[in-house]
Amino acid sequence: MPKGRLALDADLIARAHPDPVADDETALRLLTDEELAPGLDRMLAHRTDPAGEIWVFAYGSLLWKPEFAFAERRVGTVRGFHRRFCLLQRRFRGTPERPGLVLALDRGGLCRGVAFRLSGLDARAALMPVWRREMRGLGYEGRWVDVATERGSVRALTFVVNRAGDRYTGRLTDAEVAERIASACGHLGPSAEYLFRTVAAFAELGIRDRHLWAVQALVAERLRERVSLTA
C-alpha cells in the first residue's frame, strides 16, 4: 500500500454514524436459493476441469469475511478487470435515500486480490454460500477467470459487475465515491466500515490499490466534518 497510516479508523466511523438503522426489506429484493440454483449449475457446467479444484477470487469483502471454508489462499492478479466502487447498496450498508457503494470488478485493467482454494469435494455445496451472498441482489455476474500467482495460474470463480442492472453506477470520481460512502449507513453498519475493513485487509496483505487508499482518505475527511458539525 502507499506509505503512511490509514486516515480512516473504526472510532471515527462509529462517532460519525452513532445511530442504528432499521432494515428495510423492500429496499432490495433478494433471490431465493431456488432462483439462484440454475445460475450456479450453469457456472459449474462451464468449468474447464470439472473434476479439478475449486477456487474463488476475492477482491473486496470476501477477503475479511469469506463465506466458505478454504484449504489454501494465494495472492494473485486477474487481467482484463479492475476493482472499483461502482455498485449501489440500497440495503445492508445503505438506504434507498442514501445508498452506499460496494466494490465490483469492471472491464479493463487488472486487479490484485486473493485466490482461495475451497475445502470439500462437492463443488455445488462448497460454492452455494458465496453464490448466494454475491448473486442474490442482482448486482453481479459470475465469471471464470485466470488468476496468476507465484505458484502458477489457477482458474477461479469471481464476481463482475452487472452493467445492465440498475445498481451499476458507471465510473464515478474518487470524490463522488467518497461522498456516497461517507453519508451512507444501513442495518449492517456504515458504508465506511466496509471500506475500512477492506483497505485494512489489503494493507495487511501488502496489496497496493491507490484508488482505495485515496478514497479512504477522502472519506475520513468527510467523516471528521460530519463529527465536528454534530459536536
Cell 479493463 belongs to 108
The DSSP 8-state label assigned to residue 121 in this structure reads S
CA torsion through residues 47, 51, 53, 56, sign: positive
Positions marked catalytic: 134
**Distance between CA atoms of residues 201 and 60, nearest Å:** 9
**Distance between CA atoms of residues 124 and 22, nearest Å:** 33
Cell 440454483 belongs to 37
**Distance between CA atoms of residues 57 and 63, nearest Å:** 9
**Distance between CA atoms of residues 212 and 101, nearest Å:** 12
Residues 66/171, Cβ–Cβ less than 8 Å: no
